[in-house]
Amino acid sequence: MNNSNIKKISASMPIANINSANSNLKNLRVLLQQSEDINVDIHKLISRLRNMPVPAKTNMYFQRSLVQNRKILSVIFADCADLRLREFNLAGRRALLIYIDGLTDTKMLERTILAKALCSQEQVISEKKIAKIIEQILTPSAYTIAIKIAAAVQQIMMGNALIVVDGFRQTVVVDSAEYVKRGIEESKSENIVRGAHDGFNETLRDNIVLIRRRTKDTNLKVKIVDIGQRSQTSVAVVYVDNLAQSDLVEEVLRKLAAINIDRLVLSYNIQEYITPRPWPLFPTIQGTERPDVVVAGLYEGRVAIIMDNTPWALIVPYTYNTAMQSVDDYAMQVPVASAVRMIRHFAVLVTVYLPALYISIVSFNPGMLPTALAIYIAELRARAPFPTAVEAFIMVVILEVFQEAIVRLPNRMVIAASVVGGLVIGTTVAQAGLVNPLLVVVISGTAIASYAMTSYNFAMGLRLARFIIIIIASVLGLYGVILGTLVLLVYMCSLESFGQSFMGGFLQVDTLADWRDSLVRLSIKNNPLRPKIYGAQDETRIGGYRDGKQND
Amino acid sequence: MNNKNLFWFNTVTLVLICSLFITGCWDQKELQDRAFIMTVGIDVADEGLGATGSPPYEVSVQVLKLAAGASEKQSAQEAKTYVLSGRGESIFEIIRQLYSNSSKALWFEHLQAIIISRKAIEKKGLKPVLDFFIRDSETRWKIKLFTTQNKVRQFLEYQPPTGEAGGIFLDELIDQYTRNPEIAGRLLDLGYINLLLDTKKEVFMPQISMQKKKIQITGADVYRGNTYLGHYDEYSIKGQKFIIGGVESAIIAVPYPPGTDTIMALEIFKIVSKLEPHVNEDEIYFTLDIFIRGNVGEKQITREVIDLDDSKQIIAFEEAINNEIKTNIMYGLNQSRRIGADFLQFSDKLRAHYPETWARLKEKWSNIYPTIPLYVRVESHVRHRGEHL
């Protein structure tokens, strides 16, 4: 290194110039700031330009010139690597076939469009209407004419192919959507023993077919709306015209139309939008993966909402009574089904109350126990390091973490986790004396009771309610449990699902007629009435049934 | 957050914060931190006079000893309970004094039995003795009451051979009255005795005594108010139960054939008894009809073969049973008359059936009662002989 070349800045710049250096630096900073602002502006401009060709709700039409149209489309689909363009001659004119790779049945396009067009090279048709050309030369099974660019683009995004022909403002949309999808499989979350085993998949069309195939009723109506400014997700509203109350259908459509969001990913997104409460503890909308549940619901006068890209259909309204019903209940001997139903109701109480009752009896009101049991528990707890409430909290939290872990884990790990959880929590914690064995029994009983619910979301709500009751119980004892019960009951009675009370059909006096399918289940022959709570237009299932008698 | 949400947020927060301060509710006491009193014994001191001029109370409580952890098995010899005792004028005060001997709070929730010495009832009166237990919110009305002539503390120190706590032993002991008609046990708990005290009726309390280091129920004592009237022995309790009920599944053993020393027994399955007053001008008498159905329970006969298929034999056996029951009833009635107690409720029956006669005789009832005749008719039927050849 040559040290002699290195000089102090002050040596090359006289001291008098420091002020000018400072002002230069200031100018430079201002310039940098301005260039950043310009950069932002340019980006804004670019994004506006991008949006220009098809602003969401404006009417823009195709041009007559193919070159122009191609330019417009290439701007819209800029940076879309999966877009395929194919130019060909059609009846003496240049034509353009546009589709998205993977969403479209290319074999069908080859067979019905390209092959036909190329085989009829000489045929020149000077028709004014594009439909004539299509009908004379091409052989697609179904097509529509589009003149608006936005509509055509949406069709392309749905997987259909677009044919633009030089000299025509009209374009042709060929029904050719075919894409990778899951087959019709058994529902993953709602397993049943006896009943249909097909479940919804992620394709709206297939899901509607699954419903249609179950009934040949033309009164079953399907209305499709697109929701989400960006995702434009198709959502079908399905109902039986002469059963569902018209204001219910209107209400559903109105609420769907009011959804203001850019994308829908889960059907639960819709559920949250159309539920009136922002903090619902229990679901007021039924979710199901089973087409038979949807059909049964439709014939109770309810309305189903099916979203594309999810196997979870929503049914409204929803009540506690319906939450307690499982498909299997209807495929069992009536007395057995009734007993199972009652056990399920009992399981609700166990899920919510068992730990709270344990805490309050052990630490507030041991006088309620039979003497022998009181002595037994006291001896179990003789050297317990924690108060009952803390002990119960530890166990409940461990249980919840464990359940969450099992749900999240890959299938192969679940067995390992079960062994670890079962051994560690069930045996070792109790042996170490951290919690007493009776509490382990109580907590596991609670967990098992919560698994007996037919609706996962309802069970989750119960689990949270259990926490609340446990907190009140550990502060106020049995008095608190009663207070908590009152609050919970008032809350549940105040819940509404599309105008129907959540507890209606079970606790509501004017729908007591629904007892036939509530705590017990009568045979389908003896239960000719649709659930009163849903207020179907036709109350009876059996034709000519009036006042408990069947007349001709 | 708009105003409505803010309001709810504040309300919920306030409730949650407030609830933190009330965690010390008075009965928030963990199960294992409570000392369960199983039995209370009430006695009076042998010497010394209290401020009121009567000897002071001597109260002992039998407290449950918790085994340390369920995994370690307690040895059978080790006592399940221990006894604390104190002396004073007020039972409640004595209980509170006992806290100086106990690391845990004393609770009466699982109290099983109260034993009161005859001396304590005579000196203090039954109602004052029971007053604390009736007032206290923790005690149940199903608590069993006992009286004894012995000192009370030894019953509390008694370790039952079954290994259970002494109070539970006493509680279950008295429940055997359904099998053994000599035990007075039906409707003799704290609540019922309180009811009898309130209606100024005679009170009937099972007596226990310590014989050969074993607790035994030996008849019952009768009190009216604070005075001790007398003692019923076991045989007379059985006699009275034929009238007031509670002898189903009792065994009646009689010499059979009559006059010999061999025994045949009847097991009672059903008994219907009807006590009725009759007034004929100035003459008052009671009739008692008893209908009994039962099986041959046992036959201790070896010398001669008795053919029970012979209806004459059965009739003779039924006759012997009838006589035995008649004797038993008259024995009980006589004992009742001797001590001047009207436990069979003759007076109630008369008042219900003949209110006018009752109004006339009310004043001199205690003189008339021992002279009223009772005519007993017993009809017993042997249903199954249970013979095999």
Mean pLDDT of chain A: 86
Q: Which residues of B touch A477 (CB under 8 A)?
A: 25, 27-28
Instruction: Give CA–CA dist B126/B146, Å, rounded.
Output: 12
Question: What is the average pLDDT across A464-473?
Answer: 91
Q: What share of chain A is helix, strand, coil (3-state, %, to 5)?
A: 50, 15, 35
With bands split at pLDDT 50, 70 and 90, how would you rate the model's confidence at A1? very low
Would the CB atoms of A374 and B31 count as touching at under 8 Å? yes
pLDDT digits (tens, 9 = 90+) for A61-106: 888 889 988 888 888 888 889 999 999 988 888 899 999 998 899 9
Would the CB atoms of B34 and A378 count as touching at under 8 Å? yes
pLDDT for B71 equals 45
pLDDT of A544 higher than 80:
no
Q: How far is CA B358 from the centre of its chain?
A: 30
Residues of A with CB under 8 A from a CB of B: 362-367, 371-372, 374-384, 387-388, 431, 433, 436-437, 471-472, 474-477
pLDDT for A49 equals 67
Q: Which residues of A touch B166 (CB under 8 A)?
A: none
Would the CB atoms of A364 and B138 count as touching at under 8 Å? no
The CATH code of the domain at B243-382 is 3.30.300.210
Q: Which residues of B touch A436 (CB under 8 A)?
A: 70
HEC sequence for B167-225? HHHHHHHHHHHHCCCCCCCCCCEHHHHHHHHHCCCCEEEEEEEEECCEEEEEEEEEEEC
pLDDT for A346 equals 95
Q: Which residues of A touch B23 (CB under 8 A)?
A: 474-475
| Chain A nearest CA to B140, separation (Å) | 9
**Percent of the residues in chain A that have a pLDDT greater than 90, as a whole number:** 39
Sign of CA dihedral B103, B107, B111, B117: positive
Q: Which residues of A touch B70 (CB under 8 A)?
A: 376, 379-380, 436-437
DSSP letter at B67 equals P
Which 3 state secondary structure label does DSSP give A358? helix
Q: Facing residues of A96 across strands?
A: A87, A164
Name the helix (H) or strand (E) containing A27. helix A18-51
* ipTM for this model: 0.80
When scoring A368, A380, A487 by the number of chain B Cβ atoms within 10 A, the one with the most, hence best to mutate, is A380
Least confident range from A376-385, A389-398, B90-99: namely A376-385
Q: Which residue stretches of chain B have pLDDT < 70?
A: 1, 19-27, 50-52, 68-78, 303-305, 387-389
Please report where in the chains the tokens 């004014």 appear, as a residue.
Answer: A128
| Chain A nearest CA to B27, separation (Å) | 6
pLDDT for A91 equals 80
When scoring A363, A391, A439 by the number of chain B Cβ atoms within 10 A, the one with the most, hence best to mutate, is A363
Closest CB to B27 among A364, A371, A376: A364
pLDDT digits (tens, 9 = 90+) for B145-169: 999 998 999 999 988 888 888 888 9
pLDDT digits (tens, 9 = 90+) for A173-207: 999 888 888 889 898 888 888 888 999 999 999 99
Which 3 state secondary structure label does DSSP give A290? coil
Residue A39, CA distances (Å) to A34, A44, A46, A61, B384 in order: 9, 9, 11, 33, 112
Q: Which residues of B touch A371 (CB under 8 A)?
A: 36, 110, 112, 168
Please report where in the chains the tokens 């012979």 appear, as a residue.
Answer: B310
pLDDT of A550 higher than 50:
no
Closest CB to A380 among B23, B70, B109: B70
With bands split at pLDDT 50, 70 and 90, how would you rate the model's confidence at A4? low
Q: Facing residues of A171 across strands?
A: A146, A164
pLDDT for A310 equals 93
Instruction: Give CA–CA dist A129/B46, Å, rounded.
Output: 127
Residue B156, CA distances (Å) to B165, B168, B229 in order: 10, 11, 26
| Chain A nearest CA to B174, separation (Å) | 16
Q: How far is CA A154 from the centre of its chain?
A: 23
Residue B259, CA distances (Å) to B255, B308, B320 in order: 7, 18, 10
| Chain A nearest CA to B292, separation (Å) | 37
Q: Which residues of A touch B32 (CB under 8 A)?
A: 378, 381-382, 384
pLDDT for A512 equals 84
Q: Which residues of A touch B107 (CB under 8 A)?
A: 366-367
Interface A-B, measured as beta-carbon pairs within 8 A, has a size of 82
pLDDT for A541 equals 83
With bands split at pLDDT 50, 70 and 90, how would you rate the model's confidence at A415? confident
In chain B, ranges of CATH 3.30.300.210 domains: 243-382
